[in-house]
């Protein structure tokens, strides 16, 4: 899928993309990435992170670095981080846990549908193989399009900007909203994004991508041309077609894909189906219950009105 046009091309080869001012391509090359990492990091934590990265690399366990480290590399925005985010395939989790266990770290599969952790005292590493809503599973494409870098002095690969944007686009909790991260990734990387691949990642949830693209034009009025016009036109055509078609009448609330807490009223009291739950969504009822029970200060649901 490709659309010619006068705006930034929907390229798949970053080496052939023209960098707009402030794009990913203008940031430091991989070998200088250590300087772009968050500037304040406890030396003990830094040493543990290096050991974890080195242990996995030595045993050939595939992993990608995400979180604040990758975000700093792509956008130039540095910020404090309380942990290290490693993205792995679910099939590789067992090997990864064994390697880190042999290296002296305690590992725990905290939420079987998306997250494990490795700990050394108060320092921990997140081992991520999906998103909390189950939509953004780490697969071969994450690795095929990874970006070579150096993290804390250790050669590593970073989560691709497309996958970082895709996973962040769905985080709209009351206590955490990653829309600003999405806007900054678009601002920095629009000229080098593989737009057809990004659109394919969103799949049936393309409205979420469209919402962020519309907001980007609001946030940066003078930078609207960073988003390819062909992409907006394609998504708006989908919106027109969907708006004119009859509603699906499936009784779902898909807000739970954006926030695990803020739409519980709809599924617990208003009778809506949970958009996360199979067969409509990727999660089991058991995984949804465990993730819901982990909401801080979670109160038992009130009985539905008589």
**SS3 sequence of 72-96:** HHHHCCCCCCCCEEEECCHHHHHHH
* Domain span including residue 187: 161-245
pLDDT at 302: 65
Backbone angles phi, psi at 246, to 5 degrees: -65, 145
Q: Give the separation between CA 37 and CA 213, rounded to whole angstroms.
A: 27
- Residue 200 sits in the same domain as residue 123: no
φ and ψ at 196, to 5 degrees?
Answer: -60, -40
**Residue 18 included in any domain:** no
Q: Which residues lie across from 149 on neighbouring strands?
A: 156
Question: What is the pLDDT at residue 42?
Answer: 85
Q: What is residue 33's predicted lDDT score, i.e. its pLDDT?
A: 40
Classify residue 257 by its DSSP letter. Answer: G
Are 272 and 253 within 8 A, CB to CB? Answer: yes
Tell me how far CA of residue 228 lies from CA of 80, 193, 196, 213, 236, in angstroms.
Answer: 32, 10, 11, 10, 13
The per-residue pLDDT for 82 is: 74
Cα gap 88→94, rounded to integer Å: 11
- Say if residue 179 is in the same domain as residue 206: yes
Same domain, 40 and 138: yes
The CATH number assigned to the domain holding 81 equals: 3.30.460.40
Residue 268 is predicted with a pLDDT of 95
Tell me, what's the pLDDT at 29?
A: 43
Same domain, 142 and 239: no
Residue 17 has what pLDDT? 42
Which of 120, 156, 100 minimizes the C-alpha distance to 48?
120
What are the CA-CA distances from residue 172 to residues 134, 185, 207, 290 (Å)? 15, 16, 14, 19
Measured at the alpha carbon of residue 156, what is the angle toward residues 151 and 162, in degrees to the nearest 5?
Answer: 100
Q: State residue 163's pLDDT score.
A: 98
User: Residue 180 falls within a domain, yes or no?
Assistant: yes
Which 8-state DSSP code applies to residue 263? T
**Contact present, 165 and 288 (Cβ < 8 Å):** no
| pTM over 0.75, yes/no | yes
Are residue 302 and residue 221 in the same domain, yes or no? Answer: no
Q: In what order do the strands lie in the sheet with 106-111?
A: 106-111, 115-120, 123-128, 84-87, 64-65, 154-158, 147-151
Are residues 220 and 22 in contact, defined by beta-carbon separation less than 8 angstroms?
no
SS3 content of the chain, % helix, strand, coil (to 5): 45, 15, 40
> Which of 99, 130, 158 marks a domain boundary?
158
Mean pLDDT, consecutive 10-residue segments, the chain of 306 residues? 42 46 48 45 91 96 96 90 91 96 96 96 95 98 97 96 98 96 98 98 98 98 97 98 95 98 96 97 97 88 63
Is residue 5 assigned to a domain?
no
Same-domain check for residues 269 and 219? no
196: number of Cβ within 10 Å: 16
User: In 47-75, which positions are buried (b, 16+ CB within 10 angstroms) versus exposed (e)?
Assistant: ebbebbbbbbbeeebbbbbbbbbbbbbbb
230-253 b/e (C-beta count within 10 Å ≥ 16 → b) = bbbebbeeeeeeeeeeeeeeeebb
Same domain, 136 and 250: no
Using CA atoms, how far apart are residues 52 and 58, in angstroms rounded to an integer? 10
Q: How far apart are CA 234 and CA 301, in angstroms?
A: 41
Q: Is residue 28 part of a domain?
A: yes
Report the pLDDT value the prediction gives residue 10, as an integer from 0 to 100. Answer: 63
């Amino acid at each position: 899928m490709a659309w010619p046009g006068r705006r930034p091309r929907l390229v798949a080869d970053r080496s052939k993309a023209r960098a707009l001012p402030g794009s990913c391509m203008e940031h430091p090359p991989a070998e200088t990435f250590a300087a772009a990492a968050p500037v304040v990091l406890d030396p003990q934590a830094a040493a543990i992170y290096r050991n974890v990265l080195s242990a996995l690399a030595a045993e050939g366990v595939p992993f990608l670095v995400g979180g604040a480290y990758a975000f700093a590399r792509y956008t130039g925005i540095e910020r404090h981080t309380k942990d290290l985010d490693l993205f792995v395939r679910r099939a590789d989790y067992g090997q990864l846990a064994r390697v880190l266990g042999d290296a002296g770290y305690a590992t725990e599969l905290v939420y079987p549908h998306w997250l494990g952790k490795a700990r050394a005292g108060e320092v921990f590493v997140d081992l991520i193989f999906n998103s909390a809503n189950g939509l953004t599973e780490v697969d071969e494409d994450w690795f095929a399009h990874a970006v070579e870098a150096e993290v804390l002095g250790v050669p590593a690969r970073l989560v691709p900007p497309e996958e970082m944007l895709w996973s962040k686009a769905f985080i709209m909790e009351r206590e955490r909203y990653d829309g600003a991260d999405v806007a900054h990734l678009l601002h920095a990387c629009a000229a080098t994004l593989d737009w057809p691949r990004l659109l394919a990642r969103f799949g049936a949830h393309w409205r979420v991508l469209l919402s962020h693209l519309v907001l980007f034009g609001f946030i940066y009025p003078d930078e609207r041309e960073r988003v390819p016009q062909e992409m907006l036109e394609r998504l708006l055509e989908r919106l027109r077609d969907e708006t004119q078609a009859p509603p699906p009448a499936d009784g779902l609330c898909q807000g739970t894909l954006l926030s695990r807490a803020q739409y519980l009223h709809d599924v617990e009291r208003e009778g809506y189906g949970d958009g996360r739950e199979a067969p409509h969504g990727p999660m089991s009822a058991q995984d949804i219950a465990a993730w819901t029970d982990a909401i801080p200060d979670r109160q038992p649901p009130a009985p539905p009105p008589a």
